Amino acid sequence: MIIAFVNHKGGVGKTTSVVNIGAALAEYHNKRILLVDFDSQANLTTHCGVFEPQYTIYDVLEGTCSANEAVVHRVPFDVLPASLELGNAEFSLITKTARECILQRRLAGITAQYDAILIDCPPSLGILTINALTASNQFYIVTETEFLPFSGLLSIENIVDEIKASVNEHLRRAGIIATKFDQRKVNHKHILDALHQQYNGHLCTTTIRTNTPLSEASGNGQTIFEYDAKSRGAEDYQALAREILERSGI
């Protein structure tokens, strides 16, 4: 099972969600999990405490090494790290044959080793995100409960429709994850209501609330469960992981 987590806007909590969903699935549900950092900012890589890896996902895309060689083994999950070099892939992939399918081909050799591979997509709808969606069985949209991230969801849906029509007809939207929710803010409640109305049944029941330990854990290179297992953030991501198990059939 390969699942992409997407939004073309940064700062919506996507990387935090991928790391902590992966950790919850591995720690509390005994799933074999691989996290793929597919963003040249490499935030997931540093969030997971991986520094100066020998190989990265860019090397895998370029054929310098296999995906298996680039994987970093970390408790409780494995990581396929990124670096700033990944930004070059936006240009190098353009010249390659069947460029939309390169990640799919590169991951083929390791897919069977894991119950789920979670891809943290870049904050864009360029060739990297298209590769991630082409390689995936399912995707989740991660959106902050603010107007701008919500208003841009249609762009993601349009890209998905094109991918389904051309290279991956089996791709399906597994759900929408709402993050950074502050129940004290009226506009957050309005956005959440709008998501319910527009994406009835697709919006995940679990909403990730604002929680300071989530950002502190990231800065310390830890999951929320390593940093503060009793926090509200840990509670939310445990609940979300249980919901994803049901939605995605992992």
pLDDT (0 to 100) of residue 32: 98
pLDDT (0 to 100) of residue 9: 82
Q: How many CB atoms lie within 10 A of CB 158?
A: 11
Q: ω into residue 76 within 30 of 0, thus cis? A: yes
User: Is residue 169 within 8 Å of 140, Cβ to Cβ?
Assistant: no
- What digits encode the pLDDT tens for the residues 192-209? 888 888 888 899 999 999
pLDDT (0 to 100) of residue 148: 65
- What digits encode the pLDDT tens for the residues 145-156? 877 666 667 788
pLDDT (0 to 100) of residue 94: 76
Is 246 exposed, middle or buried, given 0-12, 13-18 or 19+ CB atoms closer than 10 A? exposed
- Domain of residue 105 covers 2-248
Minimal CA–CA distance to 78: which of 35, 140, 133, 43?
Answer: 35
CATH code: domain of residue 113: 3.40.50.300
For the chain, list residues with pLDDT below 70.
148-152
Minimal CA–CA distance to 48: which of 67, 30, 23?
Answer: 23
pLDDT (0 to 100) of residue 90: 76
pLDDT (0 to 100) of residue 26: 97
Number of domains in the chain: 1
pLDDT (0 to 100) of residue 43: 95
The single residue listed with the structure tokens 């691989």 is 34
Q: For the sheet containing 116-120, what is the strand order? A: 72-73, 78-80, 33-37, 116-120, 2-6, 138-144, 172-179
